[in-house]
Amino acid sequence: MRVKAGIPPGGGASLAIVATSRYHRSREALGDAPEAHPIADALEATAAGAPDAGVVIPDTIVRVLHSRSYGNFPALRLYYSVAGWVVHLLWIEPYDELEGDAPGAATH
């Protein structure tokens, strides 16, 4: 049985945010580089404030947002899902822009 997931009408103004333990581990794996954390914060804010901004990975309920690298700021991907009134942060990771984007990934 497939879980029906979607974004409630009216946008993400009152959505709850839940970060999984795997998300916390992946966020810690970004290390101490001060440049990574503002980018991660911006991706999280986008997922919370405009949850439909991410593109759905085909045949899943997982959405992807990504940033481009700029100067010392790394390119990051944020994986999340939306179920009812909750945004679930699943995973965040750096990626190599030369390898291409995740299928359908949206740029922040």
Between residues 65 and 100, the one the model is more confident about: 65
**3: pLDDT confidence band, cut at 50, 70 and 90?**
very low
Which residue range forms the structural domain that includes residue 44? 17-107
Domain-located, residue 67: yes
pLDDT of residue 1: 32
Domain-located, residue 4: no
Domain count, the chain: 1
Domain-located, residue 7: no
Gap between the Cα atoms of 87 and 74, Å rounded: 24
Q: How far apart are the first and last CA of the chain?
A: 33
- pLDDT of 101 higher than 60: no
Domain-located, residue 11: no
pLDDT mean over 53-69: 93
Full-model pTM: 0.78
Helices (H), the chain: 21-28, 36-49
- pLDDT of 76 higher than 50: yes
Q: In CATH, what number is assigned to the domain containing residue 79?
A: 3.30.2310
Domain-located, residue 96: yes
